[in-house]
Amino acid sequence: MRHEKQVFTNRTLELDNNDFIDCRFYNCTLVFRGKNIPQLGGSFIGAGTTFHFKGAAENTVNFLNILYQHGMEAPVESFFENIPQNFPNEPRKEISLKPQFVH
């Protein structure tokens, strides 16, 4: 579903299969399962908003964590350092990231 110019407050929202264009999120829980990449163009992730990774997305984060904890910091850090280079046309937005891993 496509959401445009909406303000979400105190909500839990599934990101997969949804697009949020020019939306604002305050004190929300954004759930990403890694099935479909949502569009968040022009959106603002405000104070108190957290991301919860489940399913395939959680597995990917956990895998990167395991690599990092077993002495493979350089490839993991390189992966994250290269993200801005892979998406040079995306404007940076102020965000508050507090990943939460839930089952």
Q: Please choose, from the candidates 53, 50, 12, 11, the residue with its C-alpha nearest in 3D space to the C-alpha of residue 34.
A: 53
Total-model pTM:
0.74
Residue in this structure with the two tokens 């929202």, named with its chain if needed: 13
Q: What does pLDDT average to over the chain?
A: 85
Most confident of 7-11, 42-46, 60-64: 7-11
pLDDT of amino acid 91? 52
The single-letter DSSP state of residue 38 is P
Tens-place pLDDT, residues 76-85: 888 888 877 6
Q: pLDDT tens digit string along 53-72?
A: 999 999 998 999 999 999 98
Q: Domain residues of the chain, as ranges?
A: 2-101
Amino acid at 67: L
